[in-house]
């Protein structure tokens, strides 16, 4: 996700006196038309509960913006491994404008917010909040950056979730491609090299395998002391987020980028993500209608513990120590004993996705956790999905929801944006064959029991729930798309979703919240309320 906004919002809904909730109706928000409206925050002003005429007033409240000073700290200021402020070329302190997910964690009689900053180096801020008991409004009391030095710093912290045991579960998105790493100079690409600022510009203190994990922060007490860990046993991906199911062991992992996979981790013990078995999904397509419908099966990528994988990192492991790689014999064909895969996201600096790989003897565990996507593809899992984003869960129906930002590239059938192109399917099995839809959609996955896996929350299928609609209006003379006048900047239907990103579910109300992260789909990012029973979509 490429987040542009710098506001941490909170939506306060007062439900006092409501005994049983079964419906919720937000007042709709208009599509912004004027420049002033397009640069403003437009939000629902009221909500009705259970069909009553009485409307509860709601609104939008800014807790903090990047650069705000609370106490003696600046929210979003970036620091190095020694806790010193990072400085720009003009000597000013570096402040990230890319804040993303924020969790709310009640600890004793206090409330804390843990906030992500999607930067290289990344940052995570821990903020104590005060809540007005009459209005519900939250204000910041103090804030501080988390010290991430014991986990080698943070990398592009994207979305996240709150675990059932009340900890912050974050992410590191777009993992650097270790195959491109030059161990002698430390160079890889400009994105990776920006991370060197964390170590005073010293690239040799970095290893690409340090980044691309689920990160957990536990607030230990009301003083705001905390512990931080990267969960190496859960694998290394372009993590959007990890979402823990009610058994406190089954975790779904979304992988952002082009040609990626869907993953599930089953921990050995409740409330402990330091060891377990990792699985990758296989898409067996049934239909291409409405975003597609498929049965899912799960490929076992093996068991691992945190300490086993950390040992590889401590030894400074390299890509060449994990894989033997050779050139393809021809397009889509590898020499005997080598596995042909479409490696997907950032596979090659020349834009080539087809690779021929062999795991070196005894390196299967390292491959499964440090090169999770490549290893999954080698084991037969589907790595053709496009930009997986948010995940949420409906406990009443035992249904998981996953946002796919765009039905593109590998999800198409040897096409790119609806035109012939083999790059995104060559080398792989081409399991997903769907019509191009730049607007994306939200998918539903029905969960059930799998005795072999040892979980009651294993996805059996995956199908389109609500899809965005590409506009089809064209000027007949110039053949230039005019989309929906006067909204010429919107390439997706303004009355439907475009490039869904973060998701949330309101329990007992049958209501899914869908937030967008779109550029040309909609000129302005929108957030929607979708009633699963009535199928009503409301811009909120």
Whole-number pLDDT of residue 520: 77
Kindly report the pTM of this predicted structure.
0.94
Local structure of residue 166 (DSSP, 8 states): S
Distances in Å between the Cα of 484 and the Cα atoms of 416, 480, 481, 498 are 24, 12, 9, 14
Per-residue confidence (pLDDT) for residue 472, from 0 to 100: 62
pLDDT at 13: 42
Inform me whether the pLDDT recorded for 55 exceeds 70: yes
Which pLDDT score, from 0 to 100, does residue 59 have? 87
Per-residue pLDDT band for 15 (boundaries 50, 70, 90) equals very low
Does residue 10 register a pLDDT over 50?
Answer: no
**How is 439-495 classified by DSSP, letter by letter?**
T-EEEEEEEEEETTTTEEEEE-EEEEEEE--B---B-TTT--B--BTTBTT-SB-TT
Separation CA 451–CA 434 (nearest Å): 32
Q: Cβ contacts of residue 265 below 8 Å, gap of 6+? A: 233, 234, 235, 242, 250, 251, 253, 273, 276, 277, 278, 279
Contact 13, 44 (CB under 8 A): no
Whether residue 181 is predicted with pLDDT greater than 80 in this model: the reply is yes
Please state, in angstroms and as integers, the Cα–Cα distance from residue 40 to each residue in 33, 60, 415, following that order: 11, 12, 38
Q: What is the average per-residue pLDDT within 358-386? A: 98
pLDDT bin (cut points 50, 70, 90) of residue 243 is: very high
Closest C-alpha among 487, 493, 485, 486 to residue 467: 493
Lowest mean pLDDT among 33-47, 306-320, 460-474: 460-474
Average pLDDT over the chain reads 92
């Amino acid at each position: 996700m490429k987040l542009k906004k710098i506001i941490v919002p909170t939506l306060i809904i007062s439900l006092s006196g409501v005994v049983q909730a079964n419906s919720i109706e937000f007042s709709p928000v208009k599509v912004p038309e004027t420049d002033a409206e397009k640069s403003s925050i437009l939000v629902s002003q009221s909500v009705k509960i259970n069909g009553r005429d009485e409307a509860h007033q709601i609104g939008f409240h800014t807790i903090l913006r990047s650069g705000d000073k609370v106490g003696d700290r600046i929210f979003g200021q970036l620091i190095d491994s020694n806790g010193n402020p990072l400085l720009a070329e003009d000597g000013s302190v570096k402040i990230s404008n890319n804040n993303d997910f924020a969790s709310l964690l009640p600890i004793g009689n206090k409330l804390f917010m843990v906030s992500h900053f999607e930067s290289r180096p990344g940052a995570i801020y821990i903020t104590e909040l005060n809540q007005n008991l009459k209005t519900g409004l939250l204000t910041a009391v103090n804030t501080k950056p988390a010290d991430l030095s014991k986990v080698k710093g943070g990398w592009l912290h994207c979305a996240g979730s709150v675990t059932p045991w009340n900890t912050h579960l974050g992410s590191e998105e777009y993992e650097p491609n270790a195959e491109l790493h030059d161990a002698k100079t430390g160079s890889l690409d400009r994105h990776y090299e920006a991370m060197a600022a964390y170590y005073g510009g010293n690239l040799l203190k970095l290893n690409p395998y340090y980044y691309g994990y689920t990160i957990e922060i536990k607030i230990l007490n009301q003083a705001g002391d905390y512990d931080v860990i990267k969960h190496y046993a859960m694998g290394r991906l372009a993590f959007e987020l990890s979402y823990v199911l009610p058994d406190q062991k089954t975790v779904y992992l979304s992988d952002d980028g082009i040609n990626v996979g869907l993953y599930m981790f089953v921990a050995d013990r409740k409330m402990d993500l330091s060891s377990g078995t990792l699985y990758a999904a296989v898409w067996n397509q049934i239909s291409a209608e409405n975003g597609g419908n498929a049965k899912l099966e799960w490929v076992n990528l093996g068991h691992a513990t945190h300490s086993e994988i950390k040992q590889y990192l401590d030894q400074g492991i390299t890509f060449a120590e994990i894989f033997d790689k050779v050139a393809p014999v021809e397009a889509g064909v590898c020499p005997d004993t080598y596995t042909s895969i479409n490696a997907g996201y950032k596979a090659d600096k020349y834009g080539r996705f087809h690779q021929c790989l062999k795991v070196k003897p005894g390196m299967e565990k390292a491959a499964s956790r440090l090169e999770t996507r490549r290893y999954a593809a080698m084991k037969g899992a589907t790595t053709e999905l496009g930009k997986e984003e948010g995940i949420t869960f409906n406990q009443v129906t035992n249904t998981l929801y996953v946002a796919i930002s765009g039905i593109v590239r590998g999800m198409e059938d040897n096409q790119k944006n609806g035109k012939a192109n083999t790059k995104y399917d060559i080398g792989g099995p081409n399991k997903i064959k769907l019509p191009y839809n730049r607007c994306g959609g939200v998918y539903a996955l029905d969960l059930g029991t799998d005795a072999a896996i040892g979980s009651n929350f294993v996805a059996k299928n995956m199908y389109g729930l609500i899809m965005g609609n590409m506009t089809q209006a064209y000027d007949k003379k110039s053949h230039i798309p005019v989309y929906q006048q006067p909204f010429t900047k919107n390439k997706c239907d303004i009355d439907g979703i475009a490039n869904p990103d973060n998701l949330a579910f309101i329990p007992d109300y049958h209501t899914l919240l869908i937030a967008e992260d779109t550029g040309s789909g909609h000129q302005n990012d929108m957030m929607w309320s979708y009633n699963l029973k009535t199928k009503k979509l409301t811009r909120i």
